[in-house]
Structure formats: structure tokens, C-alpha cells
């Protein structure tokens, strides 16, 4: 059973459970993992947690995703290298999975939010004060329409305009509307 009070996140616990089963050969190479929905229901977690766990297993090279079919246990590296002549060999190194890497940026080991993640642990927040403040802000006529806006998806227009001259120094002159600003990726 997964524990919400363990040091590891539910995602890490689920990935670890499947990794152990794969390494102990309880799940044979080629075996299909449960669908995301079935796995979520079976373990009492959200589908997002299952997707994140499968991403970790993909990054470790233990499973592979097959388009429109699901997730399957990969053959060990030694078995892939000993494939019959004429068959395509799969690289022995674990694949780099950008999704898992990006998700891991937001949480430090042990499931604690990372300082740069933009989130604070719930125990640091005064939830009643925060809820009251949000209610007061949303009640004002001037701020209510702006409260749910995220901003320009391409980034702040002033920053993009300021970055335009810099783009020329990279031999890629671009107009502000051709630039996209982001952070952390």
C-alpha cells in the first residue's frame, strides 16, 4: 500500500514498486503495465501520479511507451545487446525523458518543494488569512477581471522587446513577436 505520510512522494513510491517488480523479474520483459486509469484506481492515486511514475520508469530505462498501446517492460540491456543479427539494437543507456526531468525540478528529494519551484509547503501558509485576502481582492471591480489571467503566453512584451537587440548578437536577429521568454526550461 502506498503511504501519503512516507518520506517519498506517491509518485516515487509507485515507481519504486514497479521498478522492484521489474528487477526481481516479477514483471517479465514485454509485459504490459496497467493502463494509467487502471493503475490509478488500483492504487488510489490520481492519473497524474501514475503518469509521473511511468515517466520515472521511462527515464530509468525500465519500461518503454508504445504509441496507442501502453507501457511495456523493457528487456534488460544484456538481452537487447544479444539480439539476433539483423534486428535493430536499442541503446543500452537509459533514455532521457524531458517530462520526468522537468517534473523533478519542482521537487527536491523526499518530496519537499524545491526553493525555485515557486511553491511553499502548506505548513508555512496561513490558509485562512490567504483565503480572506483572495476573497477581498476578487471582490474589487478593478482586480476581479484580471485575477484569473495568466499573462501573455509568449512572455512579457517589454522583456521580449529588450531581448530583441541581444538576439542579433547570436546571429539570429528576431523581432519581439518572434521571441518567447520562459524560465526553468
Query: Can you tell me the distance from the alpha carbon of 11 to that of 46, in angstroms, rounded to the nearest whole number?
Result: 10
Q: Comparing 3-17, 82-96, 118-132, 160-174, which segment has the lowest mean pLDDT?
A: 82-96
59's CB contacts (< 8 A; 6+ apart) are: 94, 95, 96, 97, 100, 101
pLDDT tens digits for 138-149?
A: 787 777 777 667
- Indicate if 72 and 95 belong to the same structural domain: yes
Q: Are residues 41 and 101 in the same domain?
A: yes
Q: How many domains does the chain have?
A: 2
> For the domain that residue 83 is a member of, what is the CATH number?
1.10.10.10
| pLDDT at residue 118 in the model | 58
Pair 108, 140 in one domain: no
- Answer yes or no: do 81 and 157 share one domain: no
Residue 47 lies in a domain: yes
Residue 5: inside a domain: no
Confidence of residue 103 (pLDDT cuts 50, 70, 90): low
Residues 39 and 83 in one domain: yes
Domain residue limits at 56: 10-117
Q: What pLDDT band is residue 134 in, cutting at 50, 70 and 90?
A: confident
Whether the per-residue pLDDT at 158 is higher than 70: the answer is yes
For residue 40, the model assigns a pLDDT of 93
Instruction: Kindly indicate the confidence band of residue 159, based on its pLDDT and cuts at 50, 70 and 90.
Output: confident
Predicted confidence (pLDDT) at residue 92 exceeds the cutoff of 50: no
Instruction: For residues 22 and 109, state if they share a domain.
Output: yes
Identify whether residues 42 and 80 lie together within a single domain.
Answer: yes
The full DSSP string for 81-124 is: HTPPTTSPPPPSSPPP-HHHHHHHHTB-TTSPBPGGGS---GGG
- Which pairs from 150-157 meet CB under 8 Å and 24+ separation? 154/179, 154/180, 154/181, 155/179, 155/180, 155/181, 155/182, 156/181
20-34, 72-86, 92-106: which has the highest mean pLDDT? 20-34
The answer to pTM > 0.75 is no
pLDDT at 82 over 80: no
> What is the average pLDDT score of the chain?
77
Quick one: 97 and 159 in the same domain? no
Interval 9-59: pLDDT, tens: 899 999 999 999 999 989 999 999 999 999 999 999 999 999 999 999 998
Mean pLDDT of 80-94: 50
Let me know whether 106 and 161 are in one domain: no
Amino acid at each position: 500500500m502506498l503511504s501519503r505520510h512516507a518520506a517519498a512522494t506517491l509518485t516515487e513510491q509507485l515507481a519504486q514498486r514497479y521498478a522492484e517488480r521489474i528487477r526481481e523479474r516479477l514483471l517479465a520483459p514485454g509485459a504490459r503495465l496497467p493502463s494509467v486509469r487502471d493503475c490509478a484506481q488500483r492504487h488510489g492515486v490520481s492519473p497524474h501520479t501514475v503518469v509521473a511514475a511511468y515517466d520515472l520508469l521511462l527515464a530509468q530505462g525500465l519500461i518503454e511507451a508504445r504509441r496507442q498501446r501502453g507501457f511495456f517492460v523493457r528487456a534488460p540491456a544484456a538481452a537487447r545487446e544479444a539480439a539476433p543479427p539483423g534486428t535493430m539494437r536499442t541503446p543500452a543507456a537509459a533514455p532521457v525523458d524531458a517530462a520526468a526531468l522537468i517534473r523533478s525540478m519542482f521537487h527536491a528529494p523526499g518530496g519537499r518543494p524545491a526553493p525555485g519551484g515557486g511553491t511553499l509547503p502548506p505548513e508555512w501558509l496561513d490558509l485562512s488569512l490567504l483565503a480572506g485576502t483572495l476573497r477581498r481582492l476578487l471582490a474589487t471591480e478593478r482586480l476581479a477581471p484580471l485575477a484569473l489571467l495568466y499573462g501573455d503566453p509568449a512572455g512579457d512584451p517589454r522583456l521580449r522587446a529588450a531581448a530583441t537587440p541581444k538576439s542579433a548578437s547570436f546571429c539570429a536577429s528576431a523581432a519581439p513577436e518572434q521571441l518567447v521568454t520562459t524560465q526553468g526550461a
